[in-house]
Amino acid sequence: MTVTKALPATVRSTDTTAKPPGKYRQAFPQYAAVAPFFILFAIFGAFPVLFSIWISFHDWDGIGSMTWVGLQQYSYLLGDPKFWQAIGNTLIIWVLSTVPMLLLALVIANALHNATRFRSFYRIAYFIPNVTSVVAVTLVFGSIFSNNFGLLNAFLQSVGLGKVEWLTQPWGIKIAIATIVTWRWVGYNAIIYLAGLQAISADVYEAAKVDGASSRQVFWRITVPMLRPVILFTAVTSTIGGLQIFTESRVLFGDTNNIGGPGNAGMTIVSYLYQSAFINNQFGYGAAIGWALFILIVLFSIINWRLIGGRDNERIARRAARRAERNIAAQKAAQQEDAEQTTKEAADVH
């Protein structure tokens, strides 16, 4: 009796001195607070990802029994011309949209940065395309690009150029999709670049101005290098988004045998995944395409990182800024020397 009575007392006393049990129990409210995310992620994120590996090793229509096929889905995938076409289409659309999108965004952000008046009006006007639904936007652009009655063709005809069958020709289809993507995301990226520009200290610009740098020099030698981290962010996000393009292609061309329009010219990776899994009920194949997409996204993110980011963004930006300053100073010195020389020569002539 005395023993049992004494035991809880000792336990309690160790409880207060030794930390581990109390530490976790004390943190119970915090664990409860972060738990919902992890529970939901476990059910709707982690489990499906693991499950998708399992599914991709099977032949399965989603209803009947699963047949183990090992790596056959993947080996079929590698030899599937439609899959490679989907990758090719996606990459072409991605380049056609991302390159003009980021360049235009940079130009707009630069103009916004210099404009002091109407700035909030501009920001809202440029951002509105991004909050508008892709479906509605695609319907409007579909009518603009329409082969026979489209506004674009009407315009081309009125200036004496011929019609282009935008929504039938392989390149026309890709340009149409890329235009929609560009239109929706230029403003978004410009706003992010603008925030990056505003974070660059005014001293750097002041120093360049004092050194007599032209505005083009300032843009390419100071602004762009200092924006590197922000450019990396936009490049990574547009890559991830670009590789997952689906809605534009699907709304333009609907449910036809030709996914993504005539000749499958607008069929993206996700269109093919959607078609395989949810129209043809080949769940195993759909899961395998999902993994191929994942590998592609990781690969391109690494490439982006290598090209734009490097190991230490800030160090690179600082170094670029120093280099820019040195170059500008050197050029200025050279110019001065030239000027001195010409005046000397002029003096000699006289």
Partner 1 sequence: MSIERIRTTVGHIVLMLGVVVSIFPFYWMLVMASNTTPDIFSYPPKLVIGSHLFENMGKVLDNIDFFGAMLLTLIASLGVTVLILFFDSLAAFAFAKYEFPGRNFLFGLLLATFMIPTQLSLVPQFVTLAEFGWIGSLKALIIPGAANAFGIFWMRQYAAGAIPDELISAAKVDGAGFFRQYLTVGLPVLRPGLAFLGIFTFINVWNDYLWPLIVMTDPNRLTLQVALDQLNGIYGTDYSMVMAGALMSVIPLIGVFLIGGRHFISDLAAGAMKF
Q: Is 313 helix (H, G, I), strand (E, B) or coil?
A: helix
User: In the set 14, 67, 75, 157, which binds partner 1 (CB under 8 A)?
Assistant: 157
Among positions 298-327, residues that touch partner 1 (CB under 8 A) are: 298
Selected from 1, 12, 44, 203, the binder of partner 1 by CB under 8 A is 44
| 330 counts as binding partner 1 under rule CB under 8 A | no
Query: For residues 339 and 331, what is the distance between their CA atoms, to the nearest angstrom?
Result: 12
Closest approach of partner 1 to the CB of residue 348, in Å: 34
* Cβ closest to partner 1, residue 208 vs residue 230: 230
Nearer to partner 1, 152 or 321 (CB): 152
Helix axes 283-304, 81-114, angle to 10 degrees: 40
Return the residues of window 4-33 that contact partner 1 according to CB under 8 A. 23-24, 26-27, 29-31, 33
Q: Which is nearer to partner 1, 206 or 345 (CB)?
A: 206
Residue 91 structure tokens: 């990459």
Contact with partner 1 (CB under 8 A) among 7, 71, 154, 210: 154
Tokens encoding 186: 């230029």
Nearer to partner 1, 45 or 263 (CB): 45
Backbone angles phi and psi of 58, in degrees to 5: -125, 160
Q: Considering the complex, state which of residue 7 and residue 40 has its C-beta at the smaller distance from partner 1.
A: 40
- Rounded to 5 degrees, φ, ψ at 245 are -55, 135
CA separation for the pair 48, 214 (Å, rounded): 55
256: left (phi over 0), alpha (psi -120 to 50) or beta: beta
Q: State which of residues 73, 223, 238, 247 lies at the interface with partner 1 (CB under 8 A).
A: 247
Distance CA 48, CA 172 (A): 37
Which helix (H) or strand (E) segment is 58 a member of? Answer: strand 58-59
Which lies closer to partner 1 via its Cβ, residue 91 or residue 329? 91
Measured at the CA of 266, the angle between CA 235 and CA 170, to 5 degrees, comes to 110
Interaction between residue 255 and partner 1 (CB under 8 A)? yes
**CB 14 to partner 1: min, Å:** 18
| # residues near partner 1 by CB under 8 A | 96
Span from 8-16, 51-59, 79-87, 169-177 in contact with partner 1 (CB under 8 A): 51-59
Q: How far apart are CA 1 and CA 4, in angstroms?
A: 5
* Torsional sign, CA 234, 236, 239, 240: negative
Beta-sheet pairing, 58-59 with 67-68: antiparallel
Kindly state whether residue 40 participates in binding partner 1, applying the rule CB under 8 A.
yes
Q: Which of 11, 49, 334, 339 binds partner 1 (CB under 8 A)?
A: 49
Q: Choose one: 93-101, 202-210, 277-285, 331-339; the region binding partner 1 (CB under 8 A).
A: 277-285
End-to-end CA distance of the chain: 122
What are the backbone dihedrals phi and psi of residue 200, each rounded to the nearest 5 degrees, phi first? -75, 130
Contact characters 208-227, partner 1, x per CB under 8 A: -------x------------
* Binders in 76-135 for partner 1, by CB under 8 A: 104, 107-108, 111-112, 114-115, 117-118, 120, 122-129, 131-135
